[in-house]
Amino acid sequence: MHRLFVAIEIPEGVKDGLTALCGGVDGARWRQREQMHLTLRFIGEVDGAVARDIDDTLRGIRAPAFSLTLQGTGFFADRKRARVLWAGVREERPLKQLHDKIERALADIGLEPERRRFRPHVTLARLSDVPRVEAEGYAARHGEYASGEFTVDRFMLFSSYLARDGAIYTPEAEYPLATEEVPV
Ligand code: 3AM
């Protein structure tokens, strides 16, 4: 079985800025640079035949390259506890369009639809037992964060291996996005 997800890689220079955001909250398990990415679609455990179907259908996606800027920080929380600290994105539309194409391609091969709304973010930390107010303070302190603009000219299929001291993410396949106008 393979535990798979679709994501965009973060350039090393942008990771420098993200790494600088990783500190100052007790109870945060900060992401290592090699764990940083922007998830487009979590797939989960599939067998080898389904993994090959996934690769085929993702390879058939035609979508344009686009520019992306990370901006701001925030958190996901339940009622009392914050669970995840993240960096956000400035302009969600191109990501959502790519996400929707991926969702349709996966539905075409029979995968269950993702019911949760897509909220693009780069996870910076997972939290255990951190009160909401701590995360609110963190997000307020780093509200001015913005990366430089970078080009997204491919997306990736990753596998995730849950090791004892954190997840190991391995790129399994890459899918180019079109960087030139297609003549009509
Ligand atoms: O990239 P981030 O950190 O946003 O939280 C997991 C991680 O997201 C998420 O998939 C990414 C790669 O592991 N993930 C793990 N299990 C999940 C699930 N059951 C999940 N997302 C949705 N449903």
Task: Say what the pLDDT of residue 184 is.
Answer: 64
What are the structural domain ranges in the chain?
2-176
- In the block, residue with structure tokens 């890459």: 174
Angle 130-8-28 from CA coordinates, rounded to 5°: 15
Which DSSP state fits 34? Answer: G
Task: Say what the pLDDT of residue 108 is.
Answer: 98
Q: pLDDT tens per residue, the chain (184 residues)?
A: 899 999 999 999 999 999 999 999 999 999 999 999 999 999 999 999 999 999 999 999 999 999 999 999 999 999 889 999 999 999 999 999 999 999 999 999 999 999 999 999 999 999 998 999 999 999 999 999 999 999 999 999 999 999 988 899 999 999 999 997 656 6
Determine contact, residues 56/157, Cβ cutoff 8 Å: no
Centre of ligand 1 from the C-alpha of residue 150, in Å: 23
3-state secondary structure of 13: helix
- Angstrom distance (rounded) from CA 43 to CA 110: 12
Task: Say what the pLDDT of residue 166 is.
Answer: 86
Q: 10 Å Cβ neighbour count for 25?
A: 19
Task: Say what the pLDDT of residue 165 is.
Answer: 83
- In the block, residue with structure tokens 């998830």: 39
- For 2-176, give the CATH class: alpha beta
Amino acid residing at 115: R
Of 141, 139, 103, nearest to 121 by C-alpha is 139
- In the block, residue with structure tokens 């900060």: 30
Task: Say what the pLDDT of residue 79 is.
Answer: 86
Centre of ligand 1 from the C-alpha of residue 52, in Å: 21
Q: From 5, 46, 126, give the residue whose CB has the most ligand 1 atoms within 8 Å, as the site to mutate.
A: 5
Centre of ligand 1 from the C-alpha of residue 41, in Å: 8
142 is catalytic: no
Please give the model's pTM, rounded to 2 decimal places: 0.94
Centre of ligand 1 from the C-alpha of residue 182, in Å: 34
Q: From 30, 42, 127, give the residue whose CB has the most ligand 1 atoms within 8 Å, as the site to mutate.
A: 42
Which residues line the pocket of ligand 1, CB cutoff 6 A? 5, 37, 39, 42, 44, 123, 160, 167
The helix (run of H) or strand (run of E) holding residue 85 is: strand 81-89
37 is catalytic: yes
CA atoms lying within 13 Å on the CB side of residue 82:
25
- Angstrom distance (rounded) from CA 17 to CA 9: 15
